[in-house]
Amino acid sequence: MNGKKRKVKLRTKMNLLILVNLLFVLVLFIVTLSFIMVHREYDETGSNALSVAKTVAGLPEVVQAFKNPNPSSTIQPIAEDIRKESGAQFVVVSNMNLIRYSHPDRSQIGKHMVGDDDKKVLSGHGSITMAKGTLGYSIRGKYPVFNEKHHQIGVVSVGFTMQNIWKKLTSLILEVIGIGLVALIVGLLGAWILSGHIKKEILNLEPYEIAFLTQQQAAILESIREGIVAIDTNGKIMTFNQEAKSMLAQNTEDLIGKSITSILPNSRLYEIIEEGTSHNDQPMIIGNSLVVVNRVPVQMDGKVIGAVASFRDKLQLDQMDQRLADIGQYVDTLRSQRHEFMNKLHLISGLIQMKEFDLVKDLIEDVHHEQQNVLNFFLAKVRDPAIVGVLIGKMHRAKELGIGLTISENSGVSEICPHRETVLTILGNAIENAVEAITTKAKERDAAMISVYIKEERDQLILQVSDNGPGIDPELGDQIFADGGTTKGEGRGFGLALVSRLVSRLNGTVEMSSSSEGAILQVSLPITEG
């Protein structure tokens, strides 16, 4: 044995519990019913015996026989006939001295009655007793015999033996037990069907497996960075995680059982339940945050039994996308630089072979002078390496597209730029938007220009990106900073919205001015808190 205790299955537990309950109920029922049947049989037998005794005692032939010298000759035949008709075991008639005038066993006639239960009947009253006589234990009905003057002259005793009574009771009790066994079998069959149905309803899982899955689900829900909310068909919240509580600003309130409309009126989860279709990657406002929502129906046996929504702050996703985009741009920049320098190396190689050494010298000095000027400018003006990396990458990308990208000589950034991550995101989005705007302009490429100004002042950081593109479509108006506000097509128009949210979180300001001669984006970020 490996020492591991084997767990009893749920279905076995249910069947055993129902079996024990059924047995208890059936035993209690049979015992109670048997007790009632015995008492009822005793009462009915006693009443029947007394009734027969009263009938015999009232017969004129019996009363007149007491005057005869030999009463037994008249009373015995009458008593035996009545005994056989009534089914009694004995019908005994005696005088006041309890000397028998009749008895099923003729040898007992003339002898004294036994049983010591005649006190009441001798006083002139009928009685029902249980005593042991010559035929064994019996239930007896005794009644006095009166003459014409209502003087008691004798006693009639009619009895039914306990042996015959119990034969009848045993037969009845066995019938009850048989019916109980049939009920037990039917109950066990029902228990087997019920336990099977319950197991099917819980996907054939055992309680410990359900407990494990519940704990596992709770751990998974709390480990992911997305908010999760699940509801049933009535719109009641069934599941949520801590991330959802944080997004919904419900840090202390228990959401289980609450209506989703009272917490998140625009969840659209009712649509999912009604339609049975999924909504993927859709924008949605929760409080002051824009989130990306996925909504899916929960189905069982082909029926929708609820819906689940998962949502994540779009700002986090956009920052991740921007970082990935920047990495891609860095790769593209390195590739373009490699091509550019390879071309120059080929040119230098050709000039050397042609022995044009003076041209080679001039070309090398030009390249060196160009690179040195760029490095000197950034070393003197923009000293944050992350900002420099983004600007150089964008300059090479713009150069490949035939666009001039210049950094204002009045710019100035320290080695650690305030709000570096935000500035990197704003620069990347703003310059990329300017590049896209210029590439759609119907005029000569050599006239395309983008200018960047970034300056740390006493209490704020000023960032400005301007271009000479076609400007912004006037139809957009104030919607330019809203999610999806664009004329570029579906799934676009989140760049400026991202910039607006980033600036708003830092209590900064963002302005956009536009004309047919171009557009200017200006951002002001506070350097000190407040």
Distance CA 239, CA 236 (A): 9
Please state the length of the chain: 530
Higher-pLDDT residue of 155 and 388 is 155
Please name each of the domains of the chain with its CATH number: 12-168 (3.30.450.20), 226-313 (3.30.450.20), 381-526 (3.30.565.10)
| Distance from C-alpha of 157 to C-alpha of 270, rounded to nearest angstrom | 87
Cα of 525 vs its chain's centroid, Å:
47
Over residues 108-133, the mean pLDDT reads 86
Under DSSP, the state recorded for 87 is T
Query: Mean of the pLDDT values across residues 157-169?
Result: 85
Please provide the DSSP assignment of 390-432 as one string: HHHHHHHHHHHTT-EEEE-TT-BB-SS-TTHHHHHHHHHHHHH
Give the model confidence (pLDDT) of 413-428 as tens digits.
Answer: 888 888 888 888 888 8
Residue-wise pLDDT tens digits, 166-223: 888 888 888 888 888 898 888 889 888 888 888 887 778 887 788 788 788 777 777 7
Those residues whose C-beta lies under 8 Å from the C-beta of residue 454, and which sit 6 or more positions away, are 382, 387, 407, 408, 411, 412, 413, 423, 427, 461, 462, 463, 464
Q: Which of 459, 474, 452, 430 is nearest to 524 (CA)?
A: 459
Is the four-CA dihedral 483, 485, 491, 497 of positive or negative sign? negative
Residue 476 CA to its chain's centroid (Å): 46
DSSP 9: P
- Report the pLDDT value the prediction gives residue 318, as an integer from 0 to 100: 66
Query: With left for phi above 0 and alpha for psi between -120 and 50, is residue 249 left, alpha or beta?
Result: left
For the ranges 6-15, 51-60, 266-275, the one whose mean pLDDT is highest: 51-60
Percent of residues, the chain, with pLDDT higher than 90: 7
In this prediction, residue 158 has a pLDDT band, given cuts at 50, 70 and 90, of very high
Task: Note the pLDDT tens digit of each residue in 421-452.
Answer: 888 888 888 888 888 888 876 455 457 889 99
Q: In terms of Cα–Cα distance, which of 294, 297, 334, 296 is closest to 317?
A: 294
pTM of the model: 0.45
Question: What is the token pair recorded at 341?
Answer: 């320098």
Q: Which residue has the higher pLDDT, 339 or 154?
A: 154
HEC sequence for 144-211: EEECCCCCEEEEEEEEEEHHHHHHHHHHHHHHHHHHHHHHHHHHHHHHHHHHHHHHHHCCCCCHHHHH
pLDDT of residue 1: 45
The 10s digit of each residue's pLDDT in 68-94 is: 889 998 889 999 999 889 888 899 999
Q: What letter does residue 527 receive in the DSSP assignment?
A: S
Q: With 80 as the cut, is the pLDDT of residue 286 above it? A: no
**Residue 451 token pair:** 């200018």
Confidence of residue 390 (pLDDT cuts 50, 70, 90): confident
pLDDT reported for residue 119? 87
